[in-house]
Structure 1
Amino acid sequence: MQNLWENYRAAIILAALVVIGLMLSIYIVPEEEQAVVLRTGEPVRVVNTVNGTTGAGLYVRVPLIESVRLIDKRLLDLEMTDEEVLSQDQQRLLVNAYARFRIVDPVRMVERAGTTDGVRVALEPILNSVLRQELGRRTFQSMLTAERGSALANVRANLDRQARQYGAEVVDVQIKRTDLPDGAPLQSAFQRMQSDRQREARTIRAQGDRDARIIRAEADASAARIYAESFGKDPDFYDFYRAMQSYNETFRKARDGEEPRGDSNIILSPDNEYLRQFRGRR
């Protein structure tokens, strides 16, 4: 009986050891994470990486010898808040920007940065530096135009080149806000922008007046040529045309309430020579 109990207890202990061994050996890799298996601190294999062939699920390791480091596989954010940047036109700008990155080489990330937070700490000053360099080559006004897109593309390319040494890939860089500091610099910038717009409006208006004068002069020359040709062919038409102009000017003043020749009324005899064109007489 005693031997049976001892055998039963040994079986229980053995089963417990097997369960504990399985618990220490099996690890789970979620879909949104990738894993690096370390043996005595050195990476030996990876699981469920961005460009790898293995996927999420249950995996086995050597207990007590191998450890597993789980690394986020999703896009991660890198924030830059209210950093002061000097533009090409010597404007002090407060810039809020962010970058999105992901870990594409987890082994290098573990060796160079340790964790994703370590990657953030390494990339923050780099983002600050490349953004300062790029905005320092551009004016504040250019950052309000389509040129902003090319500037951000350059920032992303430069930041991505630096991030590769930490096993990260930068997929996007955006500027949330680009503001001038409060106070005199802000008012001075607004006044300068207003003066630039007014100067541009004056230039456009002057060009429009010039073009209008050219068009009007060409039209008057064309009209004069047509009139001259018409008058030369038919002198009676010239007499008729001049009479119509005179009637229009005289009766317009009377119609609009102006006083022709100091009087408020016009009284003419039906047989007056001035009205001969109304009577159809040449």
Structure 2
Amino acid sequence: MNKIIAFVVAFVVVVLLASSSVFVVDPRHVAVVSSSGGSKASLAEPGLHVKLPPPFQVATFIDTRIQAFDAPDADRYTTSDKSELLVNPVVRYRVADPLKLFGATKGDTQTLADRLASLSRDALADAFSKVTLSDALQQQEAIANAARDALKTAAAPLGIDVIAIELTRIDYPAEVANVVYKRMSAAREQAAADERAKGAAEAQQIKDDAERKQQDVVADAYSQAQAIKGEGDGKAAAIAAQAFGRDPDFYRFYQSMQAYRESFKPGDVVVVDSSSDFFRFMRSPNGDAPQAPAASRKH
């Protein structure tokens, strides 16, 4: 009976030792096999491996996929013009050198996230300190790339390759948001007023140009009209002279009729001497002067 118990105990011990000595690494990880104290570490690629049972050797599994971390709360960063911003970054990275990471963390790879968070805050603080508030709001991608490059250099001793930093949120702290919004609103209103003033000036310039062109066109038209009128008057005078030369009596009669039409308008009351020479064609069709009364003739 004792032999059976001893055999069972020995079998269990062998199984436990075998299970702690054989391990499998999946394709998403690598394993760092280290002896007691973390010395003499070696890398185990994906597959089936054998090691000494603890505490002689320990296998530490490290994820080699692209990973990401972000801070649960936004961090404050100060720009070059002393403005504060709340920023939420997301850092994407992968473990490029597991042995270097194992050595830098002394086997405690769980501290990696905290160390990367600290390094990313330093990189972002340096990037934001070099730009103004306006640039920080307009050049987020450039700031993120500058912080990524700085973090890549700082994380290299950890065996980490930083792939990207994404700024998921950039906002103002509550205590300065109203002040900033009012300042931005005032700036937009001033810009709108400047645009309106510029538009009014351009409209007035267009109006002045149009009026000047109108005056030029009117002056040119008046000049042409006067020239045409002068030419017409000349032709009319020539025709009148020709008509007068052909029939002086008819010309005088026609001119008198025109004078009567211009002188007497409907409703006018005119008191004149009917013996005036002006009315000679009213007294006689041929405009002859009136004859003296018979009593006044000399014998």
Code of the residue aligned with 1:200 in structure 2: it is: A
Secondary structure at the aligned position of 1:81 is classed as coil
Deviates more, 1:35-44 or 1:110-119: 35-44
Does 99-108 or 125-134 show the bigger shift?
125-134
Work out whether 1:187 is the aligned partner of 2:165: no
Q: Report matched runs for 1:66-215 at 5 Å.
A: 66-74=57-65, 75-79=67-71, 81-113=73-105, 114-145=107-138, 147-183=139-175, 185-215=176-206
What's the C-alpha RMSD, in Å, of the aligned pairs? 3.4
Matched, 1:45 2:42: yes
* Alignment of structure 1 residues 220-259 onto 2, 5 Å: 220-235=211-226
Size of the aligned set, in residue pairs, is 225
CA distance in 2, matches of 1:205, 1:133: 41
Q: Give, as a single letter, the amino acid of the residue that structure 2 aligns with 1:163.
A: A
Give the TM-score of the pair, scaled to structure 1.
0.66
Using the TM superposition, give the Cα deviation of residue 59 of structure 1 relative to its aligned residue in structure 2, in angstroms: 2.2
Structure 1: tracts of 5 or more residues without a match: 1-7, 49-55, 239-282
Deviation sequence 1:76-113 (CA, Å, 0-9, x none): 31426232222233223232223122211111100002
- Structure with bigger helix share is 2
> For residues 6 and 72 of structure 2, what CA distance do their matches in structure 1 show?
61
Q: What residue in structure 2 maps to residue 25 of structure 1?
A: 21
Distance 1:76 1:59, change over 3 A: farther
Distance verdict in 2 for CA 1:219–1:80, change over 3 Å: farther
Gaps of 5+ in 2: 230-299
Residue by residue over 1:225-256, the C-alpha shift from the partner in whole angstroms, topping out at 9 and shown as x without a partner, is 34443443345999xxxxxxxxxxxxxxxxxx
Q: Is the 8 A contact 1:93 1:181 kept in 2?
A: yes
Amino acid at match of 1:139: T
Displacement after TM superposition at 1:152 (Å) = 0.8
Aligned twin of 1:60? 50
Overall identity of the aligned pairs, in %: 23
Per the normalisation by structure 2, the TM-score is: 0.63
Tell me the alpha carbon deviations over residues 193-219 of structure 1, each in whole angstroms, 9 at most, x when there is no partner. Answer: 111111111222222223333333334
Contact 2:68 2:90 in 1 (8 A): no
